[in-house]
Structure 1
Amino acid sequence: MQLVRIQDDLPADFTRLRAAADAEGFHALARLEAEWAEDREAFVCLLAAMQGDRLAAIGGLTPEPEPQGKAAMRVRRLYVDPAARRSGVGRTLVNALLQEALDSVSLVTINARDTLAPAFWAALGFDRIDNRPWSHQFMAH
């Protein structure tokens, strides 16, 4: 697996991954495609996890849209190909996004209220949060 920073066009295999997400009822990649076309600068970082020519996962970072007293970043539009799940691809991608974010902030958020993988976020050190505009957060110590 190789992590690739996306700067120009979305990977050639993006359409296939988006179709998989759409089929599962996840609209994150449809939103990503629209946001990327509208304003690439909205993303501090967008990473693709490639397995050969196959896009195994994608995810990005943006500034937290609803900061609560301190600068923060939000993990956004994360999606792992069903065929790549439980292989470490998602963990590797999120850890790379965390490293990128923690270079400039101490709080990283995600809105995963509707996620099917709460244990995934907990295993990565994210705490479930109530009464905030995000559902989970990671605090650097």
Structure 2
Amino acid sequence: MPDQPTIEISQIEELPEPFDALLQDADAEGFDTMSVLRDEWAAGSNRFERPGEVLMLARVDGKTAGIGGITQDFVEASYLRMRRFYVRPAYRRLGVGRQIALHVLEHARPFNRPIVLHADGPDAEVFWPTLGFVPIDRIHTTHVFRPLR
């Protein structure tokens, strides 16, 4: 059995230096999530710095593997929204996305607010329910996670 990779998750306050790897991989797959993150960051419109927000970076054996965070929801102010999740193809199926999501959910726990997201694609639609998200019929939203009160 091969050694399990070392997955490190850390909160970041600046986009990582090797951001180009995330951007290039996402673009190659037809996902705009990393280019939107870059553009919003550069414009200052979304830097994951309002109350309840956080951006996490995953490294596997020291290499940038994935990113994801949570912001205030743009549809309903009392909700939080999982945003800008992306795991590079070479690091999928290793638990990277799960670890990022669990760290983000742990960060959000004290806020005790519903958390929504838009699952982009069939893999995401299968992934999020494994963490307790359930489908919802809501504009710009596919799933919701309701914390236990």
Corresponding residue SS for 2:103: helix
Corresponding residue SS for 2:38: helix
Structure 1 CA distance for aligned equivalents of residues 110 and 97 of structure 2:
20
Alignment of 1:1-141 (within 5 A): 1-8=7-14, 10-39=15-44, 42-43=47-48, 44-67=53-76, 71-112=78-119, 114-117=120-123, 118-141=125-148
TM-aligned CA deviation for residue 54 of structure 1:
1.2
Q: Percent identity?
A: 36
Which residue matches 2:3?
none
Give 5+ residue unaligned stretches, structure 2: 1-6
1:5/1:57 Cα in 2 relative to 1: closer, same or farther (>3 Å)?
same
CA contact (8 A) 2:56 2:67 kept: yes
CA contact (8 A) 1:17 1:81 kept: yes
Per mean C-alpha deviation after superposition, the further-off stretch among 128-137 and 19-28 is 128-137
TM-aligned CA deviation for residue 14 of structure 1:
1.1
Aligned-residue CA RMSD (Å): 1.6
Structure 2 CA distance for aligned equivalents of residues 106 and 26 of structure 1:
28
Corresponding residue SS for 2:75: coil
CA contact (8 A) 2:40 2:46 kept: no
Structure 2 CA distance for aligned equivalents of residues 41 and 133 of structure 1:
17
Structure 2 CA distance for aligned equivalents of residues 52 and 37 of structure 1:
28
TM-score, normalized by length of structure 2? 0.85
Structure 2 CA distance for aligned equivalents of residues 123 and 36 of structure 1:
30
Corresponding residue SS for 1:106: coil
TM-aligned CA deviation for residue 27 of structure 1:
0.3
Corresponding residue SS for 2:25: helix
TM-aligned CA deviation for residue 18 of structure 1:
0.9
How many corresponding residue pairs?
137
Structure 1 CA distance for aligned equivalents of residues 61 and 43 of structure 2:
28
TM-score, normalized by length of structure 1? 0.89
Structure 1 CA distance for aligned equivalents of residues 25 and 146 of structure 2:
32
Structure 2 CA distance for aligned equivalents of residues 125 and 105 of structure 1:
15
